[in-house]
Structure 1
């Protein structure tokens, strides 16, 4: 055991000493590897961030996997499929009861609506949504200021609303901390309080708002002309068995309401609406670019390593003459490349991290979307260092074979 440990440690020390002796050659040969690994780390890092940004966008609009939209329709009433108000309320009530029965933690109303809102410059029809507190978590909604809805907000006499920046600008640039209010015309009309502002895209230039469902104050406000009686309910449930559970919730509500109401469940998130992996094409492209960069770096190192071994034939022949075994020579030459590329990989990863860690670069990739995680993806660092070691082993294999074949007589010729 001691002999094995001594051999391993001795080989590592010997390889490191060779790197120090030939540091000029090593630096020149590893410049290409460093650039290749840095490029690889940046490519993988960009790809990882792009995947997370795409997933975040998908979840903002379609919900997290697996989010199902459940809607009740009727063959009677106004001929549009919208149920009568009393029936719509019954469907909503039964859907909530079914979600609670099956221990669904994230369930919310998700009904698009419109309200005539009194701004300082006049009354305007503003689009919005009627939701429950879980909506923010289900759709990755981020707050810019103030707070999101809480269950206690249902009992407010002045309804709480959450708006975008365009809405605040329409109020004259009001600040949420001052608790600005807006008049909601209706029968009777009420005054709503802005409790929070959510993060919105730069192109989101029209005022929008969220209001809390089943709240005392909002239930007394007359709906806008575009509301109808179509109400939508959403649930976020585990992907395993999601379809069966969503259908069970819908069928329970349909059976409880009875009559001519049909309740259907359809999946909303991108993972359910796209066949296969929705990000699969992006992953293949990133993998292809990464492999190309890796191959180019490896070929450059292999070429330099072969030339280097040919220039060291005298040195290697002398070492064979004083008793170094073929295996010792093979491992030493191989480890020289591996240790060198390991250092180059670490430097390359640091360069890649510096690029992706830059706030401006990261902002261009994420478009301001909060994706969470470390500034530099861990997988990019692991791929960068791992690929450097792998390239070093491959690029060192042929030179090591060449070094083993060196004979003592070759040392005399050189």
Structure 2
């Protein structure tokens, strides 16, 4: 055991000493590897960030995996989502009530109304129609809503006499960009008209220049200042459930609602997140493009190192032949030459990863990739660092294998003739 350990440690020390002696050659041969690994780390890191940004955008609009949206058709109207008049409003309320009961029955934690509508708002420069969404508190978690200031809805906000609303920055700008902590108010015309309190603002894209707002479902805001039923407002109900059994839970909730509402009702669940609208892996194409680019960069770096290593071994024939003459075994020579490449590429890989981390960690570069979207996680993806170092070691092993075979074939007589 001691002899084996001594041999292994000695081989490593010997390889490291060779790297120090031939550091000029090593530096030149590993410049390409360093550049290749840095490029690989940047490509993988960029892909990881882009994937997370794509997922974040998808979850903002469609919900997290797996989000199911329910729509219903009643015998009294063409559908609760598109019907008009008091009958359609009553049908929508009945469907909402039964779906909430079903969610409670099956212990679904995240449920929300998601009703998209137009609301009249009294701005300082006049009344304007604003796009709004009626939601429950769980909507923020289900759709990755990010607050820039203030706070999101809580259950206690349902009973506020002055209804709470959450708006975007364009809405705030329209009312003079007040400080949220001062509890700014806006007038919502209706029957009767109410004064709403702005409790928070959400972070949106810089291209989102139209005022938008969120109001809380089943609250004073929706009871006393709702849009006219003649507008055909689309009312929706969403649940966020685990992907594994989400389909079964959604179908049970729909079936229970149909039975409770009576004959003639049809309730259909549909998956609204990216996993339901795209067959297979919604980010699969992006991953394949990233993988192909990474492999190409890796192959180019490996070929350059292989060429330099072969030339280096041929220039060291005399040295290798002398070592064979003083008792070095073929295995010892093979491992030593192989480790020279592996240790060198390991150092090059570490430097390359640091360069890649510096590039992607730059606030300007990261901002261009994420477009201001909050994606969480480390500034430099861990998988990019692991792939970079692991690829460097693999390249060193593959590029050192052939030169090591050449070194093993060197004989003592070759050293004399050289």
State the TM bucket, normalised to the shorter chain. over 0.9
Identify if the C-alpha distance between structure 1 residues 5 and 222 changes in structure 2 by more than 3 Å, giving closer, same or farther: closer
Cα deviation digits, residues 232-287 of structure 1 (max 9, x gap): 10000000121121111111112112143321111101111111111111111111
Larger deviation, residues 85-94 vs 303-312: 85-94
Match of 2:193 in 1: 189
> How many residues in Structure 1 have an aligned counterpart in Structure 2?
414
Distance 1:217 1:365, change over 3 A: closer
Greater Cα offset, 71-80 or 376-385: 71-80
Aligned position for 1:318: 322
Number of the residue aligned with 2:294: 290
Distance 1:301 1:85 in 2: 72
Task: Work out whether residues 122 and 187 of structure 2, in 8 Å CA contact, stay in contact via their aligned partners in 1.
Answer: yes
Q: State how far apart, in whole Å, the 2-side matches of 1:222 and 1:71 are.
A: 20
User: Which residue in 2 is equivalent to 1:231?
Assistant: 235
Q: Which runs of 5+ in 1 are unaligned?
A: none
For 1:141, the equivalent position in structure 2 comes to 145
SS of the residue 2:220 aligns to: coil
**1:106 matched to 2:110:** yes
Distance 1:144 1:199 in 2: 5
The aligned counterpart of 2:61 is 61
The structure 1 segments of at least 4 consecutive aligned residues displaced by more than 3 Å after TM superposition are 77-83, 224-227
Are the counterparts in 2 of residues 143 and 196 from structure 1 also a CA contact under 8 Å?
yes
Partner Cα separation in structure 1 for residue 233 and residue 323 of structure 2? 89
Structure 2 residue matching 1:84: 3-state secondary structure: helix
1:89-128 → structure 2 map (5 Å cutoff): 89-128=93-132
8 Å CA contact 1:88, 1:229 repeated in 2: no
Q: SS state of the match for residue 205, structure 1? A: coil
Secondary structure of the corresponding residue to residue 144 of structure 1: strand
Tell me the TM-score normalised to structure 2 length.
Answer: 0.97
What does residue 46 of structure 2 align with?
46
In structure 2, relative to structure 1, the CA distance for the partners of 1:222 and 1:325 (3 Å cut) is closer
Larger mean CA deviation between 168-177 and 124-133 belongs to 168-177
> Are 1:253 and 2:261 matched, yes or no?
no
Match in the other structure for 1:382 = 386
TM-score, normalised via structure 1 length: 0.97
Structure 1, residues 312-352: CA drift from partner, whole Å, max 9, x if none? 01110110010000000000000000000000000000000
Q: 2:136 aligns with which of 132, 135, 143?
A: 132
The CA distance in 2 between the partners of 1:78 and 1:238, in whole Å, is 32
8 Å contact from structure 2 (residues 258, 266) kept in 1: yes
Mapped to 1, the partners of 2:132 and 2:100 lie a distance apart of 21
Alpha-carbon displacement from aligned partner over 1:334-377 (angstroms, at most 9, x marks no partner): 00000000000000000000000000000111111111110100
**Contact 1:112-1:227 at 8 Å conserved across structures:** no
| Within-5 A mapping of 1:388-399 | 388-399=392-403
Q: Tell me the CA shift for residue 227 of structure 1.
A: 4.4
Deviation for aligned residue 1:58: 0.6
Distance change (3 Å), C-alpha of 1:40 and 1:297: same
User: Do structure 1's residue 200 and structure 2's residue 200 form an aligned pair?
Assistant: no
Q: How far did residue 203 of structure 1 move?
A: 1.3
Shift of 1:217: 4.4
Paired position in structure 2 for 1:308: 312
Pairwise CA RMSD of aligned residues? Answer: 1.3
Match of 2:158 in 1: 154
Distance 1:209 1:217, change over 3 A: closer
Report the CA distance shift for 1:74/1:371 in structure 2 as closer, same or farther (over 3 A).
Answer: same
Compared CA separation, residues 144 and 366, structure 1 to 2 (3 A): same
Q: Distance in 1 between matches of 2:226 and 2:205?
A: 30
Matched, 1:279 2:283: yes
SS of the residue corresponding to residue 49 of structure 1 reads helix
| Counterpart residue number, 1:366 | 370
Whether the aligned pair in 2 keeps the contact of 1:338 and 1:393 (CA below 8 Å) is yes
The answer to whether the 8 Å contact 1:116/1:224 transfers is no
Q: Is the 8 A contact 1:161 1:193 kept in 2?
A: yes
Cα shift at 1:175:
2.1
Q: Corresponding residue for 2:180?
A: 176
- Determine the C-alpha separation between the residues in 1 that align with 2:232 and 2:252: 26
**Contact 2:72–2:268 (CA under 8 A) maintained in structure 1:** yes
Cα deviation for residue 73 of structure 1 reads 2.1
Other structure's SS at 2:133 match = strand
Deviates more, 1:71-80 or 1:37-46: 71-80
Asked if 2 retains the 8 angstrom alpha-carbon contact of 1:91 and 1:253, the reply is yes
